Amino acid sequence: MLARSISAIVRPFAQMSLPKSNIRMFSSIQEEYKPEIEGILAGYEFKQKRKQALIGVIVSTKCAKSVTVKVFHKRIKPKYLKEVEVPRKIMAHDEEGLGRMGDVVRIVPCRPMSSKKRHVLMDIVKRPESVTTSNGTVFTTAGRLGRK
């Protein structure tokens, strides 16, 4: 009963339209403050990209135009009330093939490119001097050196 009475009150306000003079006034205000509005919206987009960006280490470059990035996020264990870093592996699209094993990279979400790829490589934050894999192969910034 109460819901019907509220909708009966709200419906007429939703169907109201602004007079044409108010619409003209609003459009002139929009034109007048266009640069300020664009600056504010650009700031929002920058914050949104920064918020969604993930930073991780490349652990695999076996696929063409793809890299596997290990990202850590913090989780609190309820029993001990301690913060623990939990790893997560994410596939990211690398169009130019710039990423190498051991690089610290920034990835951002994008439209799904395959069943596993939903991120794209934005930039390389840091490149290590050399990386040793689990089987003993050493990679440097110059390329592959071989086994130790």
Q: How far does CA 49 lie from the centroid of its chain?
A: 6
Identify the bridge partners of residue 75 per DSSP, sorted by sequence position: 84
Rounded-to-integer distance, Cα 104 and Cα 112, Å: 23
Asked if residue 93 lies in contact with residue 116, where contact means CB atoms within 8 angstroms, the answer is: no
Angstrom CA distances, 1 to 4, 5, 11, 12, stand at: 5, 7, 16, 18
Rounded-to-integer distance, Cα 23 and Cα 28, Å: 9
Cite the DSSP H helix spans in 68-114: none
Q: What is the pLDDT of residue 147?
A: 39
User: What is the helix (H) or strand (E) element at residue 82, kind and residue range?
Assistant: strand 82-93
Rounded-to-integer distance, Cα 146 and Cα 143, Å: 9
Provide the CB-side half-sphere exposure for 43 (13 A, CA).
6
Q: What is the pLDDT of residue 39?
A: 74
Per-residue model confidence as pLDDT tens for the chain (148 residues): 444 544 455 455 445 555 555 555 556 666 777 777 777 777 766 666 666 889 999 999 999 999 999 999 899 999 989 999 999 999 999 999 999 988 999 999 989 999 999 999 998 998 887 766 667 766 665 544 443 3
Q: What is the pLDDT of residue 52?
A: 83
Rounded-to-integer distance, Cα 104 and Cα 114, Å: 23
Indicate whether this model's pTM tops 0.75.
no
